[in-house]
A and B are shown apart, each in its own frame.
Chain A
Amino acid sequence: MQSDTYQIGLKNEEAVKKMSKDKGEPDWMLKKRLYSLSVFESKPMPTWGPDLSGLDLRDLAYYVSPNVGRADDLEDLPENLKKTFDALGIPEAERKFLAGNGAMYQSEVIYERMKDQLKKQGVIFMSMDEAVNKYPDLVQKYFMTRCVPPTYHKFAALNGAFWSGGTFLYVPKGVKVEMPVQVYFLVDHPSMGQFEHTIIIAEDGASVEYIEGCSAPAYIKGGLHAGVMEIFVGKGARVRVTTIQNWSKNVYNLVTKRAIVNEEGRMEWVEASLGSKVTMLYPASVLSGRGARAEHLYVSFASDGQVLDTGAKITHAAPDTSAYVISRSISKGNGRAIYRGQVRVNPGAKGSVNSVKCDSLLLSEESSTATFPVEEVYEEGSDVSHEASAGKIAEDQLFYLMSRGFSEEEARALIVRGFMEPVTKKIPLEYAVEFNRLIDLEMKGAVA
C-alpha cells in the first residue's frame, strides 16, 4: 500500500511527477498537472464561504490505489466490493435501466461497461485515465482548457494537479442515449482525497443523462472530495447530470462543475446532497449560444454538524438564453443549508430570462439557513428574478396528516418529502426511492 499512496513525505511536485509517470501520461498532461500545482500553491484557502479550518490538506493521501484489478463484469469484483454494490442495487440497475455503468473506488475506476449498441454509435465511455492515452487529441482539447481552467479556483487547481479517475463520456453528433449512464464513487480509505475528473461532451443534437452516486462508510476519519466536471453541450444538445451525494458526515465535499451550453442546447443539473461535513457546490452554466437553456434543481438535507453550501452560477452570454433554479433545503439539528448564487447577464444578452427560487425548511430551533444571491445584470432587456422563503413545518399540515393516522414522525417525513418533490421527481425513480428512504432515516428521531 505504502508505495501506492502519495502523501506527506513526498514533496507535492515529486508526487505529481511520480503519479503522471506511473499512469504513463503524455508530457502535456504532466505539464498541466505541474501548472495546476503551481496555481494551487499560489491561491489562498477560500474564506468567503463555510469554515474550512478543519480541513488539513497535509493530512490527506492524494492518491490511493484501489489494489484491485479492473473488471469487465461486476461479478469479477472482489467479494467486499461486490457486496457493497449489491446493497446499493447497482447490478440490478445495470441490468434494468443503464446504458453504461461504472465504478470508481479510491483513486481509480475499477469497472465500466457500456451497451454494445452505443459503442457502435461511436459513444465513448471510459475512465479519464484511459481516455488520456486512447483519445489524446480529444482530451487535450477539452481538459481544463476553456471550461474549468486550473485558475478557476484553488480546489479546481488541486484537482488538476492530482486528478485520478473520473469519466470521459463522448456522445457523437445526433446520438441520443436513451438510458442513463451511471458512475458510482466509493471511498473507504481512512483519510484521502478523491480527485476524479469527468468530462462530458455532447456534440450537436446529441443527448445523454449522467448519474453519479457517492458514498463513503461512516468509519473513515475524514477526507476530501474535490472532483471536477467539465461539460460541453453542443448546438441543440441536451445533457442532464444527476448527483446523489451521500458521503460520510466527516468528508469535505468541495466540487467544481461547469457546463458550456451552445445554441439551443440544454443543460440540467439535479443535485441531491445528503452527506458530507461541508459541501461547497456551485454548478455553473455558461449559456454561450442563442437560446441556450439551463435548469438547476437542488435538494439538500443538512443534519446535525453539516454545512451544505450550494448554489448556481449562471452566465447569460448570448441573447434569448434562459435558466431557472429551484433549490429546496432542509436543516435539522444544528445543520446549516445555504444558497449562494450568482447570475450574470452580459451586455447584449437580450431577451434572457433567469429565475431563482429558494425555499428552506427548518426542522429545529438550532438549524439555520441563508441565501446569498448576487446578480450582475448588464443588459436591460432581460428578466432576472429571485425569490426566497424560509419556514417551519406548518402545524395544520401536521395535524391533518396525524388525523389520517400518521405519527408525528411519519407526518413530518411525508411533509419533508413533499417539500423536496419538485426536485426529487426529476431523479430516476429507482434513485428517488432510495433517496426518500435515506431521508426517512434522517427524519427518524427528528421529533423532539
Chain B
Amino acid sequence: MEKGLSVVDLRVSAIGGKQILNGVTFDLPIGEIRVIMGPNGSGKSTLALTLAGSPDFKVDSGSAKLDGEDILSLSAEQRAKKGLFLAFQRQIEIPGVILKDMIWEAYRANWNGQGRPSIIDFRKTLAATAQGLSFSESFLDRAVNEGFSGGEGKKSEVLQMLMLKPRIALLDEIDSGLDVDSLRVVASALNDFARNGRSALIITHHYNLLDYISPDLVYVMKAGKIVDKGGLEIAKIIEKEGYSRWGVD
C-alpha cells in the first residue's frame, strides 16, 4: 500500500520492561476508518503511543510507514508534522497552558497553507468547531486538561484533531467517558473527518461508538498481536460474547 499507514510485525517493549507488542501488522489506507478492538491489557494503547513516538516504549523490530516512509526513526514532533495525530486516552494536564492558546500555537506550528495563518479566522473556526462538538467554550480558556471530566478531555482531543487536520488520526479509547449524546457528536465528527483524504484508527474495547460509525475494517487485538480482522460483524460478536472465541487469557 502506498498512501496511509502501514505497520508490519511491530514488536515493542516498555522501557526497562517486558515485550508488550509481539508482532502487530495492520494497514490504515487514506480515506478509511478502521477499528482495533481488544480487551484491556492487549497492547492497544502501547501501539497508539508507540506510533506517536512516546519515549516510554522501545521498538524491538518491525516497521511502521506513513505513505511508504519510515516513521519509527522520527521524533514525535516530526511524526506530527507528517500528519500523524494521537488522541490520548489518558488526560495529561499541562498547568497554566491555556487550551485555546496551545491549539493556536500548534495550528501555527503545523500551518502549511498560504501566507500566515489568521488568528481571527482561527478563533472563528475554533468556536464553531467547539460548538459542533457541544464542547463548552469555557474549557477553551482553561489549562489543558486541568479539571476536565473524562468526557471533556475526550472532546478536547477530538477538537484538537479537527483543528489541526492531521492525515492520520489514532484515537485511543475516545469513546470512554462519553455519554450517548456526546458519542453521537464525536462519531459524526469522525465520519466527516475521515473523508477528504484523511483516515482514523479507532482503538477501543467497547462497541459503543460503532453504533454510529461504519468502519471499513475491524481488527481484533489480543496479547500484543492482531489475531483477526473483518467487517462490523466481528465487532458485534465481541459485543455479545467478549473475546473468548480468540482464546482466553
Most B Cβ at <10 Å: residue of A396, A403, A418, A422: A403
Q: Is B110 interfacial (CB-CB < 8 Å)? A: yes
Contact A399:B55 (CB < 8 A) given known A405-B80, A405-B106, A418-B143: yes
Can you name the residue of chain A whose Cβ is closest to the Cβ of B109? A405
**Which residues of A188-224 are within 8 A (CB) of B?**
none
Q: Is B199 interfacial (CB-CB < 8 Å)? A: no
Most A Cβ at <10 Å: residue of B92, B93, B97, B106: B97
B80 touches A404 (CB 8 A): yes
Contact A407:B92 (CB < 8 A) given known A399-B53, A399-B55, A414-B105: no
Q: Is B17 interfacial (CB-CB < 8 Å)? A: no
Q: Is A152 interfacial (CB-CB < 8 Å)? A: no
Most A Cβ at <10 Å: residue of B77, B88, B143, B164: B77
Q: Is A17 interfacial (CB-CB < 8 Å)? A: no
Q: Is B6 interfacial (CB-CB < 8 Å)? A: no
Chain B residues whose CB sits within 8 angstroms of the CB of A420 once the complex forms:
96
Q: Is A379 interfacial (CB-CB < 8 Å)? A: no
A270 to chain B, nearest CB (A): 16
Bound-complex Cα distance A157 to B92 (A): 51
A405 touches B77 (CB 8 A): yes
B76 touches A403 (CB 8 A): yes
Partner of B86, one of A403, A406, A421: A403
A404 touches B102 (CB 8 A): yes
Q: Is A4 interfacial (CB-CB < 8 Å)? A: no
Q: Is B237 interfacial (CB-CB < 8 Å)? A: no
Bound-complex Cα distance A395 to B80 (A): 17
B105 touches A403 (CB 8 A): no
Bound-complex Cα distance A407 to B109 (A): 9
Contact A402:B80 (CB < 8 A) given known A395-B55, A418-B143: yes
A406 touches B92 (CB 8 A): no
Contact A400:B92 (CB < 8 A) given known A405-B81, A406-B77: yes
Chain B residues whose CB sits within 8 angstroms of the CB of A414 once the complex forms:
94, 97, 102, 105
Q: Is A139 interfacial (CB-CB < 8 Å)? A: no
A421 touches B53 (CB 8 A): no
Bound-complex Cα distance A408 to B54 (A): 13
Can you name the residue of chain B whose Cβ is closest to the Cβ of A421? B96
Chain B residues whose CB sits within 8 angstroms of the CB of A411 once the complex forms:
77
Bound-complex Cα distance A108 to B109 (A): 45
B94 touches A403 (CB 8 A): no
Can you name the residue of chain A whose Cβ is closest to the Cβ of B90? A396
B109 touches A415 (CB 8 A): no
Q: Is B73 interfacial (CB-CB < 8 Å)? A: no
A272 to chain B, nearest CB (A): 15
Q: How extensive is the interface on chain B, given as a class?
A: 20 to 34
Bound-complex Cα distance A395 to B49 (A): 13
Q: Is B160 interfacial (CB-CB < 8 Å)? A: yes
**Which residues of B33-65 are within 8 A (CB) of A?**
52-56
Partner of B96, one of A406, A407, A418: A418
What is the number of residues of chain A that contact chain B, defined by CB distance less than 8 Å?
23
Partner of B105, one of A395, A400, A406: A406
Most B Cβ at <10 Å: residue of A401, A405, A415, A418: A405
B94 touches A400 (CB 8 A): yes
Chain B residues whose CB sits within 8 angstroms of the CB of A397 once the complex forms:
92-94
Chain A residues whose CB sits within 8 angstroms of the CB of B106 once the complex forms:
404-406
Contact with B along A383-409 (1 / 0, CB 8 A): 000000000000111011111111110
Chain A residues whose CB sits within 8 angstroms of the CB of B92 once the complex forms:
396-397, 400
Bound-complex Cα distance A396 to B80 (A): 16
Chain B residues whose CB sits within 8 angstroms of the CB of A431 once the complex forms:
none
Chain B residues whose CB sits within 8 angstroms of the CB of A415 once the complex forms:
94, 97
Partner of B164, one of A399, A405, A417, A421: A405
Chain B residues whose CB sits within 8 angstroms of the CB of A401 once the complex forms:
94, 102
Most B Cβ at <10 Å: residue of A396, A419, A422: A396
Bound-complex Cα distance A239 to B144 (A): 33
Q: Is A410 interfacial (CB-CB < 8 Å)? A: yes
Partner of A418, one of B54, B80, B97: B97
Contact A419:B96 (CB < 8 A) given known A399-B55, A410-B109, A414-B105: yes
Bound-complex Cα distance A405 to B85 (A): 9
Contact A404:B97 (CB < 8 A) given known A397-B92, A418-B143: no
Contact A419:B52 (CB < 8 A) given known A403-B85, A405-B81, A405-B110: no
Bound-complex Cα distance A411 to B109 (A): 11
Q: Is B149 interfacial (CB-CB < 8 Å)? A: no
B96 touches A422 (CB 8 A): yes
A444 to chain B, nearest CB (A): 16
B55 touches A404 (CB 8 A): no
Partner of B94, one of A402, A408, A410, A418: A418
Chain A residues whose CB sits within 8 angstroms of the CB of B77 once the complex forms:
402-403, 405-408, 411
Bound-complex Cα distance A409 to B95 (A): 18
B96 touches A402 (CB 8 A): no
Q: Is B75 interfacial (CB-CB < 8 Å)? A: yes
**Which residues of B1-27 are within 8 A (CB) of A?**
none
Residues of B within 8 A of A (CB): 52-56, 75-77, 79-81, 85-86, 88, 92-98, 102, 105-106, 109-110, 143-144, 160, 164
Question: Can you show 25 pairs from A to B with CB atoms below 8 A apart?
Answer: A395-B55, A399-B76, A400-B144, A402-B53, A402-B77, A403-B79, A403-B80, A404-B80, A404-B102, A405-B81, A405-B110, A406-B77, A407-B77, A414-B97, A414-B102, A414-B105, A415-B94, A415-B97, A417-B96, A417-B97, A418-B94, A418-B143, A421-B95, A421-B98, A422-B96
- A408-B77, A414-B94 given; name 9 further pairs at CB < 8 Å: A395-B55, A402-B75, A404-B106, A404-B110, A405-B77, A405-B110, A418-B96, A418-B143, A421-B97
